[in-house]
Chain A
Amino acid sequence: MATTYRTCPRTGLQFDLKAEKLMRWNAVAGVLWLLVGGITALLVILTRWPAIKLLPPDQFYLILTAHGIDMLILWIIYFEIAVLYFASSTLLRCRLATPNLAWVGFWLMAIGGIMTNVAIFQGESSVMFTSYVPMQAAPHFYLGIILFAVGALIGCGVFFGTLVVAKRDKTYTGSLPLVSFGAMTAAIIAVFTILSGAAILIPTFLWSVGLIESVDPQLYRMIWWALGHSSQQINVAAHVSIWYLVAAVIFGAKPLSEKVSRFAFLLYILFLQLASAHHLLSDPGMSAEWKVLNTSYFMYFAVMASMIHGFTVPGAIEAAQRRKGFTNGLFEWLRKAPWGNPVFSGMFISLVGFGFLGGISGVVLGTEQINMLMHNTFYVPGHFHTTVVVGTTLAFMSITYLLVPTLFKREMMFPKLCQIQPYLYGLSMSVLGLVMMGAGTLGVSRRHWDMAFSGAPFQYEWPGAAYLMMGLTGIFGTIAVIGGGLWIFLVVWSLLFGKKLDGGVTSDKPTPIPDQTTAASASATGSEEHTTVPGTVVLAITLLVCFVLYYFVNWKYLSEVWGLS
């Protein structure tokens, strides 16, 4: 298992060259899918914009299916595999386990992704990301996703193997770094997710080729969402890990408490997978007891976990800044943060957007009875564009500004544009999410070609505000696509033409992480003297107040509709 190690002179990170190549290829493949996803996003937005209505219905549904698959599965999971390899082999300074197998995983994902896209663009598989039976896609639509999932599962296996290698080779002492621990959380949830996906997509594939007579539509929805929603929980665990990573790299931030942060990740593993229920709250097939217990992640323990991370991440930054002397008032630590550094600004917008918009809307949407106000409306994509896009995608974009110099050894070009990009993308996407939720609150449907219902036997006129919201969706969606396109341009251009940077010294042997525990623990700032974080407390209380108000406003809305029992 001969491999070479390189120590990046700028960050001190150590890369196993075989792992490095895999990370690059996975990240680049992700970016290419993001490009396809971004083009389809623009077409979707321009069709749903009532004033433009670009595509005819058949093409619209085709493109919307491609947008969902390419963004939610292909872009994100490719990038996550790169993150997993980074969080294991690089952070633990060890060789990657079975790199050849990792390449098998990579190519399976590539073949699967292309196969599914071919099925979609052939036009016989416009079944949406969710592909609810009994609507049927071409067999290779399902087969492609299955192959992709097997590849991703191999990637998770390589990650776990690498943890074992690091432990055995003693490249670190004590416990895993928090970021690697968070990545492990993501990988564990990924295994659960992929097995759920296999449990439903394999029978569905067999049904599409005629070997099974039927798949129960309600059962399909339940198991499919153990794939569909849990895969978003991989994202949450991954992007929360990246928040901690950025806080550590930019500020040297140390978790307020390792115990609390790790416990919060553990709660994700224990409860997040119950969220499949969020999609079934207005379904006939489940009892109210089942819905209440599952939709709340067994009494909101996973929500508690996210609220904890939402406190400890900015808290860790504040503590680090205060130790550096930014102690004036409540917010000097935040005002004096490096807002011009896209790694930080992207991460912080991701944090705030995910908490205030994605988090709050998700809990409200996932409340059993309130769900009836929003199920399948435009509110749903509004919500998940603030979680998966503002949360996950933006976090991945921000970390890329760090990865291009260290992993790809290229300097980022157009630094001014790099500074602007997280704001342009993050803020327009946040507003997009809000106006989509606004349209959904007024009842506008998701996955719907024509809100004017042309060709229907009767007419229904949406309120004027709904048209206004959809117009704003068009405007901010277009800006967001420009912001995303700018990121792809900056990254690709820098990879191709950026100034080559020194790769640093290489060696045949990994240098283990120096054991700093014994010496450090005597002088550790942690233990007794906690740094107080009043600014973070204020931010957290603000979040809570918004949360409580918005939550009860929706109960008020619900109380005004027809009686249901």
Chain B
Amino acid sequence: MSAILPPSDRLWWKTPISGQEWTWIGIAFVWGMVMFGMMLYWHIYGKQNLSNEVYRTTTEMFQAKTDAFVKENTIRTETEQQIPVAKANANNEAFLLARLWSWYPILELEAGKTYKIHLSAVDYNHGFSLQPTNINIQVIPGYEHVVKMTPTKAGTYAIVCNEYCGIGHHTMLGRIYVK
């Protein structure tokens, strides 16, 4: 008679399903297909899809690449720590390295241009959280993620680390200028 007893009808799988239930199952199925289709649709027509361009790297290799990039493209330094501010190179590429507890270097980009940002971490997992526009990407050591970004509006943006990375996690704040 109830859900805590064996089904009263032994051949329960032969009992027909009511129209109301069928309708709801149908609606749930169609809605699932719509949501599935939306992700595919966005891959074709949407303008915000996370890049699949990823390379295996090592912390030493990524550190070396970032250092070379900073050396060639630094336009000034900022704050007492003399953090370099770098422009993207001639191919519109830039490197951004996450480490305990800073984002290195500061980047200066231009609105409307498309850049290839190379993202990786050299110690733990970190989280690239661009504010206030609110884009969040996981940054994992050993993986060089090349993300194509097109800033839309000029301004000063913060990169918050939003993957827990130890005691100084809350001081890990980076910066991107968009002109």
What residues make up the interface of A, taking CB atoms closer than 8 Å to B? 57-58, 61, 91, 128, 132, 134-135, 172-179, 216-218, 221, 244-245, 247-249, 252-261, 280-285, 287-288, 292, 296, 299-301, 303-304, 307-308, 311-312, 315-316, 363, 367-369, 371-377, 441-443, 445-450, 453-460, 462-463, 513, 516-518, 520-521, 524, 526-528, 530, 532-533, 536-537, 540, 544, 547-548, 551, 555, 558-559, 561-565
- A311 and B161 alpha carbons, distance in the complex (Å): 41
Which of B13, B21, B125 is close to A217, meaning CB atoms less than 8 Å apart? B125
Q: Are B132 and A463 in contact (CB under 8 A)?
A: yes
B129 x A217 contact (CB < 8 A): no
Most chain B CB inside 10 Å of its own CB: which residue of A128, A249, A563: A563
Taking a contact as CB atoms under 8 Å apart, the answer to whether B9 and A526 are in contact is yes
Query: In the bound complex, do residue B164 and residue A176 qualify as a contact, i.e. CB atoms below 8 Å apart?
Result: no
Measured between beta carbons, the chain A residues less than 8 angstroms from B163 are: 132, 376, 447
B18, B51, B147, B152: the one contacting A256 at CB < 8 Å is B18
Residues of A with C-beta under 8 A to B169: 57, 61, 447-449
Bound: A135/B141 CA distance, A: 11
Q: Are A450 and B79 in contact (CB under 8 A)?
A: no
6 contacts between A and B (CB under 8 A): A57-B169, A91-B4, A254-B2, A292-B39, A303-B32, A526-B15
Residue of chain B at shortest CB distance from A298: B36
- Asked if B162 contacts A513 (CB within 8 A), the reply is no
CB atoms of A375 and B6 under 8 A apart? no
Separation in Å of the B92 CB from the closest CB of chain A?
Answer: 13
Q: How far is the CA of A372 from the CA of B164 in the complex (A)?
A: 17
In the docked arrangement, what's the CA distance between A533 and B6, Å? 23
Most-contacted residue by chain A among B12, B13, B33 (CB, 10 A): B12
- CB pair A532–B173 under 8 Å, yes or no, is no
Q: Which of B6, B125, B135, B167 contacts A132 (CB 8 A)?
A: B125
Q: Contact partner of B143 among A256, A284, A367, A448, CB < 8 A?
A: A284
Q: How far is the CB of A377 from chain B (nearest CB, A)?
A: 6
- Decide if A282 touches B160 in the complex (CB within 8 Å): no
Closest to A449 in B: B170
Closest 8 A/B residue pairs (Cβ): A300-B32, A563-B150, A460-B158, A445-B162, A284-B145, A530-B18, A248-B2, A456-B173
A247 contact from B3, B130, B138, Cβ within 8 A: B3
Does any Cβ of A come within 8 Å of B90's Cβ? no
Query: Could you say which residues of chain A place their CB within 8 Å of the CB of B131?
Result: 443, 460, 462
A548 and B12 within 8 A (CB)? no
CB distance from A344 to the nearest CB of B (A): 15
Name the A residues within 8 Å of B124 (CB-CB). Answer: 132, 134-135
- Range of interface residues on B (Cβ < 8 Å): 35 or more
Which residues of chain B are near A252, meaning CB under 8 Å? 1-2
B148 at the interface (CB under 8 A from A): yes
A449: chain B residues within 8 A (beta carbon): 169-170
Contacts of B38 in A (CB 8 A): 367, 551, 555
A338–chain B nearest beta-carbon distance, Å: 16
- With a cutoff of 8 Å between Cβ atoms, the chain A residues found around residue B137 in the complex are 282, 372, 375
Given contacts A259-B17, A563-B114, contact A308 B35 (CB under 8 A): no
Contact B51 A373 (CB under 8 A): no
Assess whether B49 is in contact with A527, with CB atoms less than 8 Å apart: no
| Residues of A close to B47: CB separation below 8 A | 559, 563-565
Contact residues, B24-79 vs A (CB, 8 A): 24-25, 27-29, 31-33, 35-36, 38-40, 42-43, 46-52, 54, 79
Chain A contacts of B43 at CB under 8 A? 288, 292
Is B136 touching A369 in the complex (CB atoms < 8 A)? no
Q: How far is the CB of B151 from chain A (nearest CB, A)?
A: 5
Residues of B within 8 A of A448 (CB): 160, 162, 164, 169-170
B132: which A residues are within 8 A, CB to CB? 443, 463
CA distance A424 to B140 in the complex (A): 41
A213 to chain B, nearest CB (A): 13
CB nearest neighbor in B for A257: B17
- Interface contact A57-B114, CB-CB below 8 Å: no
| Cross-chain contact A377 with B36 (CB below 8 angstroms) | no
| Docked complex Cα distance between A384 and B165 (Å) | 22
Q: Which chain A residues border B123 with CB–CB below 8 Å? A: 134
Q: Do residues A446 and B162 form an inter-chain contact, with CB atoms below 8 A? A: yes
Name which residue of chain B comes closest to A547, CB basis: B31
Would you call A260 and B7 a contact (CB within 8 A)? Answer: no
Residues of B with C-beta under 8 A to A300: 31-33, 35-36
Q: Chain A contacts of B127 at CB under 8 A? A: 375-376, 445
Are A296 and B16 closer than 8 Å at their CB atoms?
Answer: no
